[in-house]
Amino acid sequence: MSIKTIEKDFIDKVSAEIQLSADGKDRFLVFTPFHFNDGDQLVIVLKKMGGRWVLSDEAHTYMHLSYYMDEQRLHSGNPQKLILKALMFAIHISPT
């Protein structure tokens, strides 16, 4: 599948404000209009893993959370529950 085909699918199905940029073999940076409060761009990568395409922030959002709260709090209580639920949801919706 070519980058133009992938980019067209993104634009048609998600938003015309999405752009892709090749970043290696079977890996693309996904540019969106979304930013964090500090002005950093939301990091999204589209990459092929194990024969399927996967979207990932490669732990960038987790890094931003650690700026605003003690990282240890992310490993216990409600923050940990929310992160685990999000991960389980991502695993559950991933096509096999």
Contact criterion met (CB below 8 Å) for 31 and 45: no
Contact criterion met (CB below 8 Å) for 21 and 38: no
- Is the pLDDT higher at 56 or at 13? 56
- Provide DSSP, 20-69: EEE-STTEEEEE-S-B-TTSPBPPEEEEEETTEEEEE-TTHHHHHHHHHS
Of all residues in the chain, what percent carry a pLDDT higher than 70?
A: 88
Give the whole-angstrom CA distance, residue 31 versus residue 26: 16
- Is the pLDDT higher at 46 or at 68? 46
- Is the pLDDT higher at 90 or at 18? 18
Quickly tell me which residue has 């079977």 as its tokens: 26
- Is the pLDDT higher at 23 or at 13? 23
pTM: 0.62
